Amino acid sequence: MKKYLVLVCIISAALSSCAQNVPEKIDTLLTAFEKQEAFSGSVLVARAGTVLFEKGYGFKNKKQNTRNDSNTIFQIGSITKQFTSAIILQLAEKNQLSLQDKLSKYIPDYPHGDQITIEHLLTHTSGVYNYTNDGGFMKNSAYTPIRRDSLIALFKNKPLDFQPGDKFNYSNSGYILLGYIIEKVTGKPYFQVVRERIFQPLHMDHSGFDFTDLVSPDKAIGYMPAADADVPAPIVDSSVSFAAGAIYTTPGDLYKWDRALYTGRIITPASRQKAFTPHLSKYGYGWSIDSAYGKKIVEHGGGITGFVSFILRVPEDQTCVIVFDNHPSPAPPGQIAAEINALLNGKPYNIPQITLRPDTTVLRQYVGQYQLAPGFILTISLENGSLMSQATGQGKAELFAKKENFFFLKVVDAQVEFIKGADNKVEKLILHQNGQLVTGNKINE
């Protein structure tokens, strides 16, 4: 009788299973995420130098009722790190520094600085304490400017998490130090260096750092990660996120960066190979390295208050998937990028089913026991505002509304439909599963 247990919140689709073309399929996928309140942002998808898809979803500014589009400007958080690593590699190419230089060369009094190399900082293997783990600072002080020495002081005297080179531990502090090293070597502010060496040559004209003071009709408002929150998130000051996460940009500008990585315009092929070589935890220089469908993937996500982002690159076929989100939700951009990549490769991908949120008064009318077969009962209960189902001898699972009277679960592929009688009271349910319809009459409240 276990075959009657009920549903999953995604449905699989394959490239060959539908007459839609690729852009239509991507739009269907993203529209489903948007309707689930699981995505609000902009997406760009390209392959072999051709943009296949570019579109916005959800609101850029809820108060002004303006929607995201392909020109919307987002903060991209830690995607900034690959720009920082590119500048470091440029300086190494010109013999202005070595990746094996010790941190003590640039900050002589840094504790254990004679054990920490630039490469350790690039690969998150330095053991340096991650300053964004300081909840008090991030809550109370991340939204106001900070001096560079004060920023470094947040972690400088913290004990190392481990001996440099022994382990991987993601550390924004390491990239703060890399930004400082760039300033020491070039004699210029980090933001100016990135602008002169990357943004300007690539004509990334909608990219920058000081999001707080950015005045543009294309600027997105970042929102707090709560389903019913329309409150704008505070903006982390660029001096706080610095070389670890301060960049803002558009999908189109970031795609210019993607294209440049196939040439020697920003870094040489040899430097690019170093950046894309995995060290501990499959992390290179500002990139995570993985594989999917037999192809190498280089990718990275970003998260900063009010915004999340992701870039997925497949060098073999020059696929690029860029996903920016200004209302963090249960579906992270990395998941969305992976679904799009599956679609592009003709593999099954997951489309969220649309769920509603009926009032508890509506849900309460479905509470009761329904007999599906002799000795087999499906009990429906209301707990903390959620409708729950429990089949005889099995655990509870939450029901999610697709229509007011039509629900699904997130455990197996099945649906439950509630049916009312002539007196407008619920008298039975119909279980939809495995192509069969099984009726269960309501036997009590």
> Residues 359-405: pLDDT tens digits?
888 999 999 999 998 888 999 999 988 899 998 888 888 888 878 89
pLDDT of residue 314: 98
Length of the chain: 445
pLDDT of residue 16: 35
Residues 221, 42 contacting (CB under 8 angstroms): no
* Mean predicted lDDT score pLDDT of the chain: 91
Q: How confident is the model at residue 226 (pLDDT cuts 50, 70, 90)?
A: low
> Residues 285-315: pLDDT tens digits?
999 999 999 999 999 999 999 999 999 999 9
Has residue 153 got a pLDDT over 90? Answer: yes
Residues 71, 55 contacting (CB under 8 angstroms): no
Has residue 4 got a pLDDT over 80? Answer: no
pLDDT of residue 366: 95
Has residue 320 got a pLDDT over 80? Answer: yes
- Identify which has the larger pLDDT, 165 or 397: 165
pLDDT of residue 258: 98
Share of the chain above pLDDT 70, in %: 92
Amino acid identity for residue 85 in this structure? S
| 17-26, 338-347, 374-383, range with the lowest pLDDT | 17-26
Residues 95-101, mean pLDDT to the nearest whole number: 98
pLDDT of residue 169: 95
Has residue 227 got a pLDDT over 50? Answer: no
Calpha distance 161→121 (Å, rounded): 13
pLDDT of residue 347: 95
pLDDT of residue 357: 75
Residues 397-426, mean pLDDT to the nearest whole number: 85
pLDDT of residue 331: 76
Calpha distance 442→425 (Å, rounded): 10
Share of the chain above pLDDT 90, in %: 77
SS3 for the chain is CHHHCCCCCEEEECHHHCCCCHHHHHHHHHHHHHHCCCCCEEEEEEECCEEEEEEEECEEECCCCEECCCCCEEECHHHHHHHHHHHHHHHHHCCCCCCCCEHHHCCCCCCCCCCCEHHHHHCCCCCCCCHHHCHHHHHHCCCCCCCHHHHHHCCCCCCCCCCCCCCCCCCHHHHHHHHHHHHHHHCCCHHHHHHHHHHCCCCCCCCECCCCCCCCCCECCCECCCCCCCCECCCCCHHHHHHHHCCEECHHHHHHHHHHCCCCCCCCHHHHHHHCCCCHHHECCCCEEEEECCEEEEEEEEEECCEEEEEEEECCCCEEEEEEECCCCCCCHHHHHHHHHHHHCCCCEEEECCCECCCHHHHHCCCEEEEEECCEEEEEEEECCEEEEEECCCCEEEEEEEECCEEECCCCCEEEEEEECCCCCEEEEEEEECCEEEEEEEEEC
Residues 33-57, mean pLDDT to the nearest whole number: 94
- Identify which has the larger pLDDT, 162 or 359: 162
pLDDT of residue 35: 81
